[in-house]
């Protein structure tokens, strides 16, 4: 049985620009077959029991199988003047949707998985940063995260110390803010919207809102796809596939405080789809 709290959340189910007329696109959400199509009423998503609640935002279609517990989370930067919004397509990953989000929150892997791009030895240290579960917005936040990067973005030249902020505003979505190489004082915004197909299979939809007018769209997408394919080689080889929510099964360190807060937040809210509750 899927907990009601899980059913009442919003999940991405596809790119809005790709939704066509019936028969539309068949996909899955939380193990149930769903169909996306466009008709005179706009974009619709149907499941085994009829129409689902739908929101279109940040280039993607979001659906809820239950009764939405709240509106979809805001990303104010999505409407900020001068930003380029980039839908990066999809990467299918054989892992828990929660593991995909947790990996996105992790910087300690940069030198080893994204070698010479997002990190490089010997610059492996993760300095202390701040993590909170913000009670007002009910989101997990990590701030003041600093990391040395050889090539932080497509538009970055040479190594720089990048500052990051991370937020988890929904169980299977995360948004990061990072130093913008092209414009001092601004943040580049990158999101991953993870569609839980089943507890052990997901479609990851990366999305960006950047200050970068120069880099061709195809190069931006290709850069992001390359990064996610590197992550996939990890995500499909973690044991167990489900994310362990009980302490004891895995050993976090100070660098993992964001992941610790994310796990605690999921557990507290009963968002256990894709999680393993008892140490095996």
Partner 1 sequence: MGTEWVAVGLSRDLPAGVAMPALWQGRELAVWRSASGKLSAWNDRCPHRGMRLSHGFVRGETLACIYHGWVYGTSGSCIHIPAHPDLVPPATIKAETFLCVEAGGVIWVGAAGATDTPPEFAGYVPLRSVATQADAAALAQASGLEQAAQGLLGSTAAGGVCLILSTSQTKTTIHALAAKEADRVALSRWLDGVVRRAEERVLA
Positions that interact with Fe ion (CB under 5 A): 231
CB of 131 to partner 1, least distance (A): 15
Give the nearest residue (CB) to Fe ion. 231
Reduced to 3 states (helix: H, G, I; strand: E, B; else coil), residue 262 is helix
DSSP 97-151: HHHHHHHHT--TTHHHHSBTTTB-TT-------EEEEETTTTEEEEEEEEEEESS
CA distance 128 to 33: 43
Q: Which is nearer to partner 1, 41 or 239 (CB)?
A: 239
Q: Which two tokens stand for residue 181?
A: 């190489």
CB of 124 to partner 1, least distance (A): 4
- Contact residue for partner 1 among 66, 238, 260, 264 (CB under 8 A): 238
CB of 232 to Fe ion, least distance (A): 9
Under the binding rule (CB under 8 A), the answer on residue 271 touching partner 1 is no
- Contact residue for partner 1 among 16, 69, 85, 126 (CB under 8 A): 126
CB of 252 to partner 1, least distance (A): 8
CB of 169 to partner 1, least distance (A): 23
Residues contacting residue 59 through CB under 8 Å, at least 6 positions apart? 15, 16, 17, 85, 87, 207
Helix (H) / strand (E) element for 217: namely helix 217-235
115 contacts which partner out of Fe ion, partner 1, none, CB within 5 to 8 A by kind? none
CB of 242 to partner 1, least distance (A): 10
- Contact residue for partner 1 among 25, 94, 109, 269 (CB under 8 A): 109
125 contacts which partner out of Fe ion, partner 1, none, CB within 5 to 8 A by kind? partner 1
- Contact residue for partner 1 among 15, 91, 220, 255 (CB under 8 A): 255
Give the interface with partner 1 as residue ranges (CB under 8 A). 106, 108-109, 111-113, 121, 124-126, 233-234, 237-240, 244, 249-255
């Amino acid at each position: 049985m899927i907990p009601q709290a899980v059913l009442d959340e919003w999940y991405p189910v596809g790119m809005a620009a790709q939704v066509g007329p019936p028969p539309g696109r068949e996909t899955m959400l939380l193990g149930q077959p769903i169909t996306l199509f466009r008709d005179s009423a706009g974009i619709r998503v149907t499941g085994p029991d009829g129409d689902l609640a739908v929101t279109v935002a940040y280039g993607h279609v979001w659906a809820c199988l239950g009764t939405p517990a709240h509106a979809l989370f805001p990303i104010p930067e999505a409407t900020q003047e001068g930003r380029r919004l980039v839908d990066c397509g999809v990467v299918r990953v054989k892992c828990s949707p929660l593991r995909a989000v947790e990996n996105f929150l992790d910087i300690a892997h940069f030198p080893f998985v994204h070698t010479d791009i997002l990190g490089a030895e010997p610059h492996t240290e993760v300095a202390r940063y701040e993590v909170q579960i913000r009670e007002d917005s009910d989101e997990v936040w990590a701030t003041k995260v600093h990391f040395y990067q050889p090539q932080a973005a497509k538009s970055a030249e040479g190594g720089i110390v990048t500052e990051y902020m991370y937020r988890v505003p929904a169980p299977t979505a995360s948004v990061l803010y990072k130093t913008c190489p092209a414009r001092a004082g601004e943040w580049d915004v990158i999101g991953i919207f993870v569609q839980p197909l089943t507890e052990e299979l997901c479609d990851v939809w990366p999305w960006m809102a950047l200050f970068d007018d120069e880099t061709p769209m195809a190069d931006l997408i290709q850069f992001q796809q390359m990064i996610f394919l590197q992550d996939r080689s990890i995500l499909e080889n973690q044991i167990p596939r489900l994310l362990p929510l009980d302490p004891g099964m895995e050993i976090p360190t100070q660098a993992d405080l964001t992941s610790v807060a994310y796990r605690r937040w999921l557990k507290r809210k009963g968002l256990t789809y894709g999680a393993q509750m008892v140490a095996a």
